[in-house]
Structure 1
Amino acid sequence: MGGGPKVRYPKHVWSPAGGWYSQPANWKTNTAIIGAVMFGVAAMAFTVSAEREFRTKFPEPGRFFPSRWWTKQIGEHEKELAAQNKS
C-alpha cells in the first residue's frame, strides 16, 4: 500500500528548503526557536501599539470594549468619570 522505495535523486542539487526527503535532525528545536522569536516580535509590536494608541472618542461606560484592558488613556478617563460621579 505504499509508494515503494524512495526514488533516486541527484545528491549534488542544493535547495534552501532542504531538498528531497528533507527531515533535519533539529527541526523541532528550530521550530521552537522561530516560534519564540515570532511571539516576541508580536508582543513588542502589541506593546508599542498599546502605548501609542490615542482615542478622541471614548467607549460608552459599561459597554464591552477589549482595549479598555490595556489602554492607559481609557483607564485614566474612566477614573476621572468615577471621581466625577462620586462628587
Structure 2
Amino acid sequence: MKINNQYTSYFDSYHSQIGHDNVEKETSPTMKKETVEVDLSKTSKKLRFNNQLEDTEKTNRIAEIKQAIKDGTYKVSAEEIADKMSDTLKGQKESYGDK
C-alpha cells in the first residue's frame, strides 16, 4: 500500500498525541550493530561436517536415480516396496499400543 504525503500531517499529529515524537526508527544510522562470536565445539563441527557429507551422498543418489529414470533403466521392485510398507505399518501399530 502506498501512502501519499497528504497523510503525513495526520501521522505527525497522531504521534504527538500518543507521545512517540522522539522514537528512533530501526533504520536510523545512529543505531549500533552488535556482533556476536560463536565458538563451536569439536563435536558440533564434526556433526555439521557429517551432515554435509550425508547431504552430498543423498544429492548424488538422487541424481543417479533421476538419470536412471531418464535413461529408462530404473527398476522398481514391488517386493521391496511392499516390505517397506509392511514394516512401516507394523511400526505405527506398535507405537499406538496395538501390539
Q: TM-score, normalised by structure 2?
A: 0.30
Bigger radius of gyration among the two: 2
More helix by share: 2
